[in-house]
């Protein structure tokens, strides 16, 4: 039996096929440019040739249909019939106040998700279209939704409430929800394993840094605060999002430029952050430009690291000064040594000491690494996130009737003996090219 996971964005659909019995990834892929003049698909299956092609995909319906066709394809596929798919797990951006944990999809669930669209107008329509398309293509396969916001439901009121008229919360659901929940969940539980502690005895600060970025404070194994808010716009400096800013800037600039509310929303989400400062969002491009003397590129790096450091130190205080580990994850967190370095400078005050050499050689997404000094009171880990595995396990458990909220549920990757087979294969290859990485591999204590 295999589990299919789908992550449908506004113009893309990422997917993964997981062999549940053998605990191995069979295929991954992504359809991009959905709704444009042409779409593309990139499909990679274990032991098969990589497939890249252009095709027409006006909606997510055509994208899902092609994904299924690729999975069944004689040359590139990994299954012989749809009956091999035991469940489908869908990543959903926002659960609002309606969904506190993962759930099986029903007609009623889809209608409830539509009520949450105003809280995530850029992502929720695509999430829902993907669910509807998959249900139509595979009507007899159990399907599940896994919410980005669910992990953060353990935040206390003083963390999730805003100091605005209380009726905004009761009438309009204005509160902090938090995002990247599946990533924070995975990294929190893996960090506990690496520390040799029970999840409920662990305090960690997780930095999920990609084009979108968020920090999460985890106390006794659960989320107590996070940097993103009602939407993914709040918090850190991101690739194209502003993160925290004085709200008075919004009406001030609207009055001075004549921008509409929609234009302001687009500017803050797509034209701000690193792009707004230096015109680039890819951290590799920004770092290269800074190295060549581009002052605005250097400013962008400094801004990003400054904001990160503020959140990490602030969350250390929130955790009562007892931090077991700081975790870096996602594309930039796993590969961007200069961002890790810049955000850790000065964190010696909370007991976290970055080993400069370990950090410099750690540019590999296939293993878990410890990049703190030997005498650092707070460990610093680089943990490749695995959001798809969280979705896979939730979908399987829901289909099997064994699921429970994450505070009561045990994931396979919480085991000391857990091995990601695909990642292990890639790590072996990387160790042959870069054997010095072996000295910083983080092994469960």
> Cα–chain-centroid distance for residue 146?
12
Tokens 């829902």 map to which residue? 128
**Spacing of C-alpha 85 from chain mean position:** 25
Residue located via tokens 């439901």: 153
Residues 278/299, Cβ–Cβ less than 8 Å: yes
Q: Give the single-character DSSP code of 151.
A: G
Active-site residue, 375 included: no
277 is in an annotated binding site: no
What does the block give as tokens for 171? 């009438």
**29 labeled part of a ligand binding site:** no
Annotated ligand binding at 7? The verdict is: yes
- 208 annotated to bind ligand: yes
Q: How far apart are the first and last CA of the chain?
A: 33
CA distance 217 to 318: 8
Asked if residue 283 belongs to a known ligand binding site, the reply is yes
Of 24, 73, 148, 426, catalytic: 148
190 known member of a binding site: no
Query: Was 211 annotated as part of a binding site?
Result: yes
Query: Is residue 210 marked as binding?
Result: yes
DSSP string covering 367-425: S-EE-B-TT-SBEEEE----HHHHHHHHHHHHHHT----TTT---GGGSTT---HHHHH
Rounded distance, CA 194 to CA 413, Å?
Answer: 11
**Which tokens go with 390?**
């969280």
Cross-sheet strand order for the sheet of 379-382: 222-226, 213-219, 204-209, 325-329, 379-382, 369-370
CA dist., res. 281 & res. 291, Å (int): 16
Q: Are 96 and 177 in contact (CB under 8 A)?
A: yes
> For the packed helices 337-344 and 295-318, what is the interaxial angle rounded to 10 degrees?
60
CA dist 312 and 321 (Å) reads 11
- Please enumerate, by residue number, every residue annotated as part of a binding site for ATP: 14, 208-212, 282-284
**Binding site, annotated residues for substrate:** 91
Residues annotated within the binding site are 7, 14, 91, 208-212, 282-284, 387
Catalytic residues: 148
């Amino acid at each position: 039996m295999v589990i299919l996971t789908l992550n449908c964005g506004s113009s893309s659909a990422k997917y993964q096929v997981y062999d549940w019995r053998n605990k191995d990834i069979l295929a991954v892929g992504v359809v991009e440019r959905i709704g444009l003049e042409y779409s593309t698909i990139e499909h990679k299956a274990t032991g098969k040739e990589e497939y890249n092609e252009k095709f027409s995909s006006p909606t997510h319906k055509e994208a899902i249909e092609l994904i299924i066709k690729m999975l069944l394809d004689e040359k590139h596929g990994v299954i012989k019939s749809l009956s091999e798919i035991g469940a489908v797990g869908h990543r959903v951006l926002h659960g609002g106040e309606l969904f506190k944990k993962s759930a099986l999809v029903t007609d009623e669930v889809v209608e409830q998700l539509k009520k949450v669209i105003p809280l995530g107008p850029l992502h929720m329509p695509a999430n829902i279209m993907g669910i509807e398309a998959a249900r139509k293509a595979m009507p007899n396969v159990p399907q599940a939704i896994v919410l980005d916001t669910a992990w953060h439901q353990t935040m206390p009121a003083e963390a999730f409430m805003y100091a605005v008229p209380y009726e905004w919360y009761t009438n309009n659901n204005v509160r902090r929800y938090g995002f990247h929940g599946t990533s924070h969940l995975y990294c929190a539980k893996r960090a506990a394993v690496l520390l040799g502690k029970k999840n409920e005895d662990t305090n960690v600060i997780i930095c999920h840094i990609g084009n979108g970025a968020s920090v999460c404070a985890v106390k006794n194994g659960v989320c107590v605060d996070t940097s993103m808010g009602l939407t993914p716009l709040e918090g850190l400096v991101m690739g194209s999002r502003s993160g925290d800013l004085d709200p008075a800037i919004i009406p001030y600039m609207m009055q001075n430029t004549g921008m509409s509310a929609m234009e302001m929303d687009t500017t803050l989400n797509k034209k701000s952050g690193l792009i707004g400062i230096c015109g680039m969002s890819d951290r590799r491009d920004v770092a290269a430009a800074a190295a060549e003397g581009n002052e605005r590129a250097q400013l962008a790096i400094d801004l990003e690291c400054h904001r990160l450091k503020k959140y990490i130190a602030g969350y250390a205080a929130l955790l009562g000064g007892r931090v077991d580990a700081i975790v870096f994850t996602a594309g930039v967190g796993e590969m961007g040594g200069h961002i890790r370095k810049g955000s850790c400078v000065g964190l010696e005050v909370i007991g976290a000491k970055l080993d400069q050499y370990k950090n410099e050689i750690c540019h590999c997404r296939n293993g878990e690494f410890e990049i703190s000094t030997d005498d650092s009171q707070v460990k610093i880990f680089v943990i490749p996130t695995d959001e798809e595995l969280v979705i896979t396990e939730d979908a399987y458990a829901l289909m099997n009737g064994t699921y429970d909220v994450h505070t009561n549920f045990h994931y396979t990757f919480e085991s000391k003996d857990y091995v990601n087979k695909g990642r292990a294969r890639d790590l072996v290859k990387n160790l042959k090219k870069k054997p010095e990485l072996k000295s910083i591999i983080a092994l469960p204590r």
